[in-house]
Amino acid sequence: MNTQTAQTAQTAQEQQEQEQQAQQTVQEVNFDGLIGPTHHYGGLASGNLASSRNALSRSSPKQAALQGLEKMRTLLNMGYPQGFMPPQMRPDLSVLRRLGFSGSDHQLLNRAAKEAPALLSMVYSASSMWAANAATVTPSADSNDGRVHFTPANLLTTAHRAIEHEQTFVTLNAMFPDKERFAVHPALPAIHRFADEGAANHTRLSADYQSPGVGLFVYGRDTNTDLAALTFPARQSREACEAIARQHGLRHAVFLQQSRHAINAGAFHNDVVAVGNGPLMFFHEQAYEDKARDRAFGELNQWLPLQSLCVPASKVSLSDAISSYLFNSQLLAAMNADGSADMNNMCLIAPSECADNQAVKTYLNELLTDHSQPIRQVQFVDVRQSMSNGGGPACLRLRVILTARERAAVNPAFMLSDEKINSLQDWVKRHYRDELVPADLADPALFDESRNALDELTQMLGLGSFYGFQQA
């Protein structure tokens, strides 16, 4: 064999090895909720302090959607695979019809506006934008059958969100159509004891993305919880967590109860007081009861080298943590040149409110000088329209761990590129209103605008008759 032939053979072998390595690469993919054209502040969520504080104030659907798309672009430009979930059709007139309203679509809206404006706000809610509540996800490395599992959250604690899961089921099946690689389950029964709020109360922890991990399920109540001691609803039940772990065939699951103090302070989901990724758990000192936390973290340490980063209340009060949404940041592992995750080099994608809060800002500055922990960078993003309704950067995304083959099986219509983000921004600018107040929901033109916008969106994405009104 001559020198040139040998070099060619070596190059071919190297390329083959690189391709095999790429196929084995496991990455985090975030699917953000695209904020819909009826984004408004209805104050519909009990226990969500920002939602209550801004109830009935003026919103900007256009600004909200553009802010969300820019956050998606931020991650895309950092090299992370980024997808999205389309808005659900709002208003959901089928709910009003089931509640006894009748007539044409416009007649239905007019009657609801006069007789039950709170119901009108409910069926117009754009809350499906918070994709962290869309479902609970188990990666294929953690499930008995080697598939990625999804269970839409029933969200039954709040009426405006309880109407989402049927469309979420349809959306997830459209996004993840390969039944050999993905399993999309129906939501749990809409029964109080199985109340489920999705990934906002679930954290997948692992040594790295390739290794089998542990599902950490956080719940607000079990059969022993004194509900009378709670100021706000404990939205997630332990029985729901256990049911999802069974449904997904999860190999390792740990269950941890959120502290009553955190719930009463306004931490309606665990992702308001904690965030985790890889082996790192970043949480507030008062997120959990001490004994429960020690027991759960002890279990986690049996399966992975857990790194716990506890933020003391003496540095960041629970009130500051909740108002700034420090823990509703996205915790991202940096990517190596081969696409694998570097768990020793992490970044927080934090809401700009964290930079505005002096205690939180001081803490983050100190954190970046502490190299005993892996967070090396903080990047602030402006999602103020979402924050004003009680959802930060982490609320807006559903995180899914996927192998290269699984990523290739995702419906490409729901994956983003810089060009597609530009197209979606142009679409938003054409169809969304600059301002919206709850009284505007009575305007039949808003109904027509929303349908027209979503009809065009499905044409842009090649989704066909995706929404119920298109099928009718």
Mean pLDDT of all residues in 259-281? 95
Mean pLDDT of all residues in 383-410? 95
Q: Each residue of 384-410: b (16+ CB within 10 Å) or e?
A: ebbbbbbbbbbbbbbbbbbbbebbebb
Mean pLDDT of all residues in 344-365? 98
In a domain, 229, yes or no: yes
Separation between Cα atoms, residue 253 and residue 138, nearest integer Å: 11
Query: Model confidence at 268, in pLDDT bands (50, 70, 90)?
Result: confident
Mean pLDDT of all residues in 210-237? 92
Please tell me whether 47 is known to bind a ligand: yes
In a domain, 67, yes or no: yes
Please tell me whether 106 is known to bind a ligand: no
What SS3 class is residue 380? strand
In a domain, 464, yes or no: yes
Query: Model confidence at 10, in pLDDT bands (50, 70, 90)?
Result: low
Which spans in 209-289 are helix H?
238-247, 260-265
Please tell me whether 249 is known to bind a ligand: no
Which spans in 164-237 are helix H?
165-175
Please tell me whether 79 is known to bind a ligand: no
Query: Model confidence at 22, in pLDDT bands (50, 70, 90)?
Result: very low
Given this model, what pLDDT does residue 43 score? 64
How many CB atoms sit inside 10 A of residue 29's CB? Answer: 19
Which of 72-81, 201-210, 332-341, 404-413 has the least mean pLDDT?
A: 332-341
In a domain, 332, yes or no: yes
Mean pLDDT of all residues in 113-125? 94
What SS3 class is residue 245? helix
Residue 133 per-residue DSSP state: G
* pTM > 0.75: yes
Given this model, what pLDDT does residue 148 score? 98
Mean pLDDT of all residues in 324-342? 95
What SS3 class is residue 423? helix
Q: Flag whether pLDDT at 45 surpasses 80.
A: no
Query: Model confidence at 4, in pLDDT bands (50, 70, 90)?
Result: low
Q: Which residues are catalytic?
A: 197, 269, 395
Amino acid at 400: V
In a domain, 51, yes or no: yes
In a domain, 101, yes or no: no
| Residues with Cβ within 8 Å of residue 285, at least 6 apart in sequence | 310, 311, 312, 313
Q: Flag whether pLDDT at 229 surpasses 90.
A: no
Amino acid at 134: A
Given this model, what pLDDT does residue 19 score? 44
Beta strands 148-152 and 135-138 are antiparallel
Tokens 């049996």 map to which residue? 302
Cβ atoms 280, 309 nearer than 8 A = yes
Before 91, cis peptide (omega within 30)?
Answer: yes
Describe the strand order of the beta sheet including 253-257 as a list of residue ranges: 202-205, 214-219, 253-257
Please tell me whether 99 is known to bind a ligand: no
Closest CA to 319 of 363, 275, 357: 357
Structural domain including 409 reads 24-90+125-471
Query: Model confidence at 228, in pLDDT bands (50, 70, 90)?
Result: confident
Please tell me whether 284 is known to bind a ligand: no
Whole-number average pLDDT of the chain:
93
The Cβ-side half-sphere exposure at 254, using a 13 Å CA radius, reads 23
Query: Model confidence at 238, in pLDDT bands (50, 70, 90)?
Result: very high
Express as a percent the part of the chain with pLDDT over 70: 92
H or E element in which residue 368 lies: helix 358-368
Phi and psi based region of residue 100 (left: phi greater than 0; alpha: psi -120 to 50; beta: remaining): left
In a domain, 382, yes or no: yes
Mean pLDDT of all residues in 342-347? 97
Query: Model confidence at 227, in pLDDT bands (50, 70, 90)?
Result: confident
In a domain, 392, yes or no: yes
pLDDT tens digits for range 49-69: 555 665 566 899 999 999 999
pLDDT tens digits for range 356-391: 999 999 999 999 999 999 999 999 999 999 998 889
Q: Flag whether pLDDT at 14 surpasses 60.
A: no
The count of domains in the chain is 1
Query: Model confidence at 443, in pLDDT bands (50, 70, 90)?
Result: very high
Please tell me whether 30 is known to bind a ligand: no
Mean pLDDT of all residues in 412-419? 98
pLDDT tens digits for range 137-189: 999 999 999 999 999 999 999 999 999 999 999 999 999 999 999 999 999 99
Given this model, what pLDDT does residue 273 score? 97
- Radius of gyration in angstroms for the set of CA atoms belonging to the chain, rounded to a whole number: 22
CATH code for the domain of 191: 3.75.10.20
